Amino acid sequence: MAKRVHATGYRLNVSRLTSPDTGLLLLAWAAIAFAISRKHGDYTPTALVAVCCALVLAFAACASTFRFPRGVALVVCGALVIDAVVQAGPTNHGHGTWYVLSRLAAVPAAGLAIMSLRWRRAFGPALALLAVTALLRILATPTPPIDVHYLLTDSTRGLLHGVDMYRQSWPGAPATQLHDAYPYLPWTSVLLLPAWLLTHEVRVGLLGAAVVAAYATHRLAGPGTSVDTAFVPLLLIAYPLFPYQLQQSWTEPLLLALLAGMVLAVQRGHPAYAMVAFALALASKQHIALLLPLAACWPAFGWRRALGAAGLAFALVLPWLIAGPRDLWDDAVLLNVHYPVLRRGLDVAAFADRHDLTLGFGVTVAVVALAYAVALLRLPGTAAGFAAGSGLVQLALDVFNKQSFFNHYTLAMGLFVIAVVAARSPTSERGGSPEAGEAGERGVLVDVTL
C-alpha cells in the first residue's frame, strides 16, 4: 500500500524500512558502551570517536537496507558483558567487604548472561544476580561524592514534609553548581519516594527501575522468538560500569523502565497504560519531550494519546508550577539552557572547545533535525521503529550537546535494546488502524512533491 502527499515542485520517493537493522543497532550499543567505560564517561579522543561511530551506525541502522550479521554483533556485545566483570570502577566509589563480594558476584552474573544466548531460562537467574551485584556495590558506597545523590535523597525526603524541591539546597553535596538547584522535573523524586520509604536509599529505587526495564523488554519478545532475545534485554543492566551508574544516582534507569513499560503496554493492547507511563516519563525529565513527535507518528499510539500524555504530564507538574513558577523555571529550564561547555564532556562541543572553537547551537539543531527526518521517513510505524528513532534522536542530541556524560548515553543505549527486541517480536500491535499496521509491515512509499 502506498500513501502519497502532494504539493508543487520536484518529486522525492522515500520508502520506509520494514524494520531497523538490529545488527547495526547492537553495534551502536557496543560502541557507546565501550566509549563510556573509558575514563568513566569523560572525554577522551578514543571515546569521542566511538560515540561518533555509534551515531553513524545508528543512522545506518535506521536509514539503510544493509543488514549486518546479527551473530557478529552479539559476539561484540558479549565481549563487553565480559568486560563489565573486569571494569572495577573508580576506587573512591567502592571499598570493603561489600565491594569484594560485588566483584565476586559479577563473575557468575556475566557467565549466566552469556549462557542466555543459548539458554532462554538463564535470563531470570542472570538478571537476579546482576541486580545483586549492583546492590552490593551500592552498599559499598553509602555516601558517593556526587551532588545528584544528595539532591535526590533530600528532595525525596522533603516530599514527606511538603517541601518544594525547587526551593531546597543540598548542604552535604560537593561544591558544584547544583548545591542549591534541582535540575530535573519533580516526578523523578516522586517516583523514587517508595524506595526511600522502604530502604532510605533512592539508589535502590533506580536499581529496581533497571530490573523492571530489563524484565519489560524481555516480555516484549514473547514466546517463539529466537533464543538470543533472552540475552539482549540483559544489556540494559550488564554493560561495563553499570554499578557505577547506580552509585552515582543517575536517573536514566527510571526513564527506561517507563519507556519500556510504554512499549510493552502498546504491544499488549493497553494504550491507556502506555499513555500514563509516557506521561510519567515526560514529568520526570525534560528531554523526553523530544520523543513526543515520534510517539505521535507511531500509529498504535497516535497523536491523540501523545497529546493526552503531554497534558497529563503538565497536570502532574502543575502543583510545583503553581507553588513557585519562577523557582521551577530557573532550576528546570534556565539552569539547563545556560550550562557552559565543559571540556571533560564526551561530546563534539567539548572537542571544539579544546581547540578554541565554538560549536553553535545551530549545529545541534541540524543534526537532531536530520535524526527526526530519518526516524519519521524511513522507520516503520512499529514499536521497533519508535524505539530506534527515539534512541537515534537522543544519541544525536548527546553527541552534539554542551554537556554529555556517561548517564546521558545510557538512555540511547537502552532504547536501542528495546528496539532490537521489539523488532523480533511476533506479537502484533493493537490500537492502530489496519492501514497503519499494513504500512508498518510492508513499508510505506511516501511520494512528496515539493
Cα–Cα distance, 51 to 399 (Å, whole number): 7
Q: What are 13's strand-pairing partners? A: 447
Cα–Cα distance, 450 to 441 (Å, whole number): 27
**Which residue, 195, 260, 198, is CA-closest to 233?**
260
What's residue 305's pLDDT? 96
What's residue 5's pLDDT? 41
The strand pair at 445-449 and 3-5 is best described as parallel
What's residue 14's pLDDT? 54
Q: Are 423 and 19 in contact (CB under 8 A)?
A: yes
Cα–Cα distance, 188 to 43 (Å, whole number): 27
What's residue 439's pLDDT? 37
In this structure, what DSSP letter does residue 138 have?
A: H
C-alpha cell at 54: 555509534
Cα-Cα-Cα-Cα dihedral sign, residues 192, 197, 200, 205 = negative
Exposure pattern of 125-138 as b/e (b: 16+ CB <10 Å)?
Answer: bbbebbbbbbbbbb
The pLDDT tens digits of the residues spanning 33-47 come to 999 988 888 899 999
Give the residue extent of every domain in the chain: 3-449
What's residue 347's pLDDT? 93
CB atoms within 10 A of CB 41: 25
> What is the radius of gyration, based on Cα positions, of the chain?
21
What's residue 61's pLDDT? 95
What's residue 401's pLDDT? 93
What's residue 364's pLDDT? 93
DSSP conformation letters of 264-317: HHHHTT-HHHHHHHHHHHHTT-GGGGGGHHHHHT-TTTHHHHHHHHHHHHHHHH
CB atoms within 10 A of CB 315: 11
Cα–Cα distance, 289 to 260 (Å, whole number): 16
Q: 10-residue block means of pLDDT along the chain (450 residues)? A: 40 66 95 91 93 97 88 91 76 71 88 86 92 91 87 93 90 71 94 95 96 94 71 92 90 97 95 97 96 96 96 97 92 85 91 87 94 95 96 97 92 97 71 37 35
